[in-house]
Amino acid sequence: MSKIIPFKAVRPTPDKVALVTCRNYDDYSSAELAAWLSFNPYSFLHVINPAYMYSQKITLDKRFKGVAHKYQDFKEEGIFMEEDKAVFFLYEIQNKVQSFTGFIAGTSIEDYKNNVIKKHEDTLQYRVEYFKDYLHQTGFNTEPVLITYPDNETLNSWITEKKKSQPIYNYSTTNKEKHQVWKIETAAEIQWLQQQFEKIPELYIADGHHRSASAELLYDEDKHLGNENLNYFMSFLIAESNVKIYEYNRIIRDLNGFSKDDFLEKLAENFIIKDKEQELWKPQSKFEFGMYLDGHFYALFYKQENKQPSILENLDAQILYDKVLQPLLGIEDLRNDERIEYIPGKQSISTIKELVDEGEFEVGFMLFPSDISEIKALADNNLIMPPKSTYIEPKFRSGLMVYEL
């Protein structure tokens, strides 16, 4: 049984929402960041990093307090408004290839602790601690955890009808996305939606494992204060068939002392190798891998006799680590080894070709994306994916909804 709650959101006024919301802070180059901060006084980037030009010269404590003060400034200046009662929201994101629709709600720390909300990624403790401190000092969160629920025709039909009503937001962004938000505010609607989720036995985190772990840690440390808002964290709940899962491709700086011919010979022990020459080839199905090396693309087909019954050992990202990255290229730590970098699968594989051709990297590997059934199977068995296994959309706009603690 899954528990969701409405909450008293703080959000931009409708006339400013397109100016306020922004992409994730890390998605901006230094030049883009400077431009937005210079020319858009309403951008939520001013709240996220109010001391942008001097961020390396101040302590984290001062930076977090600066975020809290700037957020209060936005509220006092009427850029943000607060709901007068707890509500849910229905949110739709449309890009040129797909649309995503889900519910913005509070989800239960208790469900998270009891594995009703399931995880498939490991977390880094220092990142969990960092974001916990951020939440504690700033007193708000605007980055919901992306959570999937099983496809549900009853909910789908309700969503279709709800979209016929007037949205509270209807705007476009400079990356050519259209955003619409509907408020779910009547007592009957709220109760009905909660009842539907109570029928769902398990939810799955798609993206936001560090955010949910930080919310749990903050709850554990501050629950004695009696703040009911700490019992929940903001989530964006979406049907599992509606998420888009991309792979993360890998580029490596060197061959760990192997010559090209020796490296190909070692690969042939576990893969059938086909030289695709200049063809921009990428994997077409599971157990297939692409490789770009010395100006040639290669198709690598994992040999049938190597396949294992284990869910984790049959994961393509794990196979690449177990058979290539760790034993041949000597990469033990996928998170911290400076010899490996990651390219989201939504980027063209020509990006990998360009990076290798420029000489900073020697080899690139392309993977076939995991599907939701693999993610769920891993979570159900308390197994953890290798780092950077999936790049999942949709991505939520910062500053669209604020959950105050």
CB atoms within 10 A of CB 221: 12
Report the C-alpha gap between 61 and 133 in whole angstroms. Answer: 9
Report the C-alpha gap between 217 and 210 in whole angstroms. Answer: 10
Q: For 30-54, what is the mean pLDDT?
A: 85
Q: How many CA atoms lie within 13 A of 151 on its CB side?
A: 7
pLDDT grade, residue 158 (50/70/90)? very high
Kindly tell me if the per-residue pLDDT of 53 is higher than 60.
no
Inter-residue contact 4 to 86 (CB < 8 Å): no
Q: Would strands 117-118 and 203-207 be described as parallel, antiparallel, or unpaired?
A: parallel
Kindly tell me if the per-residue pLDDT of 55 is higher than 80.
no
Residue that the structure tokens 């068939």 belong to: 241
Task: Say which DSSP state 87 is in.
Answer: B
Q: For 159-167, what is the mean pLDDT?
A: 98
Q: Say which CATH class 4-242+393-404 falls into.
A: alpha beta
Inter-residue contact 278 to 297 (CB < 8 Å): yes
Q: What are phi and psi of 67, to 5 degrees?
A: -60, -45
The tokens describing 82, both together, are: 């607060």
DSSP secondary structure of 221-244: HHGGG--GGGGEEEEEEEEGGG-E
pLDDT of residue 59: 83
Amino acid of residue 334: L
Report the C-alpha gap between 163 and 125 in whole angstroms. Answer: 41
245 forms bridges with which residues in the sheet? 392
pLDDT grade, residue 51 (50/70/90)? low
Tens digit of each residue's pLDDT (9 = 90 or more) over 248-258: 999 999 999 99
pLDDT of residue 264: 97
Amino acid of residue 196: Q
Q: For 122-130, what is the mean pLDDT?
A: 91
Q: Which of 278, 272, 287, 286 is CA-nearest to residue 349? A: 278
Considering the chain, what percentage of its residues have pLDDT values greater than 70? 98
* CATH 3.90.1530.10 placement within the chain: 4-242+393-404
pLDDT of residue 93: 98
Tens digit of each residue's pLDDT (9 = 90 or more) over 372-397: 999 999 999 999 999 899 999 999 99
Classify each residue of 120-132 as buried b or exposed e, where b means 16 or more C-beta atoms within 10 Å of its C-beta. Answer: bbebeeeebeebb
Tens digit of each residue's pLDDT (9 = 90 or more) over 240-289: 999 999 999 999 999 999 999 999 999 999 999 999 999 999 999 999 99
Does the pTM surpass 0.85? The reply is yes
* CATH 3.30.1760 placement within the chain: 245-369
Considering the chain, what percentage of its residues have pLDDT values greater than 90? 86
Question: Architecture of domain 245-369 in CATH?
Answer: 2-Layer Sandwich (3.30)
pLDDT grade, residue 34 (50/70/90)? confident
The tokens describing 284, both together, are: 């077409």
pLDDT grade, residue 14 (50/70/90)? very high
